Amino acid sequence: MPKLLFGVTLSLFSSLSSCRLEPPPPEEAYAELCARCHGPEGEGTERAPALAKRKIPYPLFKAAVEHGMDLMRPIENVDDVGLRTVMRQLSIEEFVPQEVLPSSYSSPETLYLQACARCHGDGGQGKGGRLALRKRRIPPELIRAFIRHGIDDMPGFPSLTEEQLSALSDYVARLK
Ligand code: HEC
Ligand code: HEC
């Protein structure tokens, strides 16, 4: 019997998709739980971005699945074996991003302007139609995970204190 993935969410997902009585084994988890939005091969659809061949740190991948964002619902009790199987199947490169520390931490706003605005826009409006942070539904825990770990070419900021991290993620969450 293969190790089960996402045990506790069985009822949540079975009511959405089929009348399965068992949660899917790791090799089938992607097809069953993720493919309808992220595409059969992780190539992305109009509902959700590509995941295949991205650079995503494991703790951020896990936080995204556990907390959900935008249309994606949270999944409780995710299983490391299952998540790592999905990352392998999609050739997601796990990486530890280079930290680029801004020179001062006077306020969340300054930190945002120094470290984030060049990609996400001064007011979180994004750049060139991409990377908007406004009008998103991203739980605070997941905003913190994005900032701490980074993704793709976004640097992570692992040495921010919890306080700085919370202040910055509150600031980001309030960009409206
Ligand atoms: C109902 C549709 C839906 C389902 C099902 C779904 N996702 Fe998502 N997912 C999304 C959306 C929408 C986003 C946010 C897109 C964005 O950042 O613009 C997202 C974001 C992500 C991210 C963060 C990457 C990023 O570009 O921000 C990861 C990692 C992820 N999903 C993995 C998964 C995995 C693994 C599964 C299956 C266990 C899954 N998703 C199921 C819709 C979905
Ligand atoms: C070099 C460019 C770059 C910088 C600098 C940067 N980011 Fe990002 N950020 C990205 C990219 C690329 C993504 C992934 C977008 C996607 O999944 O579609 C991202 C995703 C995010 C997300 C999740 C939303 C989403 O659409 O996936 C948040 C929240 C975020 N960044 C906040 C920040 C904060 C706060 C800072 C400053 C501490 C920052 N970023 C600095 C490029 C950057």
User: Using one digit for the tens of pLDDT, what is the confidence trace for 78-125?
Assistant: 899 999 999 999 999 988 877 766 666 789 999 999 899 999 999 999
Cα–Cα distance, 86 to 66 (Å, whole number): 14
Q: 108-173: which CATH architecture?
A: Orthogonal Bundle (1.10)
Atom of ligand 1 nearest to the CA of 61: 29
For CA atoms 92, 61, 142, 111, the dihedral sign is negative
Cα–Cα distance, 39 to 162 (Å, whole number): 35
Q: Does residue 125 contact residue 47 with C-beta atoms inside 8 Å?
A: no
Q: Does residue 173 contact residue 144 with C-beta atoms inside 8 Å?
A: no
CA of 34 to the centre of ligand 1 (A): 7
CATH number for the domain formed by residue range(s) 7-89: 1.10.760
- Kindly report, residue by residue over 136-161, the tens digit of the pLDDT: 999 999 999 999 999 998 999 888 88
What lines the ligand 1 site, CB under 6 Å? 33-34, 36-38, 47-49, 51, 56, 61, 64-65, 69-72, 75, 86
Farthest-apart Cα atoms in the chain, separation: 55
Tokens standing for residue 101: 């520390």
* Cα separation values, 116 from 29, 54, 105, 111, 172, Å: 34, 20, 13, 8, 10
CA of 39 to the centre of ligand 2 (A): 22
| CB within 8 Å of 63: residues ≥ 6 apart | 141, 142, 145
Could you tell me how many residues make up the chain?
176
Cα–Cα distance, 26 to 66 (Å, whole number): 16
Pocket test for ligand 1, best of 37, 87, 151 (most atoms within 8 A of CB): 37
For residue 93, the 8-state DSSP code is B
Q: In this structure, which amino acid lies at residue 22?
A: E
The reported pLDDT for the residue numbered 81 is 94
- Same topology, domains 7-89 and 108-173? Answer is yes
Q: In this structure, which amino acid lies at residue 123?
A: G
The reported pLDDT for the residue numbered 32 is 94
Nearest CA to ligand 1 atom 43: 72
Q: In this structure, which amino acid lies at residue 130?
A: R
- Kindly report, residue by residue over 14-53, the tens digit of the pLDDT: 444 444 457 789 999 999 999 999 999 999 999 999 999 9
DSSP assignments along 138-158, one per residue:
--HHHHHHHHHH-BTTBPP-T
For residue 9, is pLDDT > 90?
A: no
**Domain ranges within the chain, ordered by starting residue:** 7-89, 108-173
- Better-predicted residue by pLDDT, 129 or 55: 55
CB 116 less than 6 A from any atom of ligand 2: yes
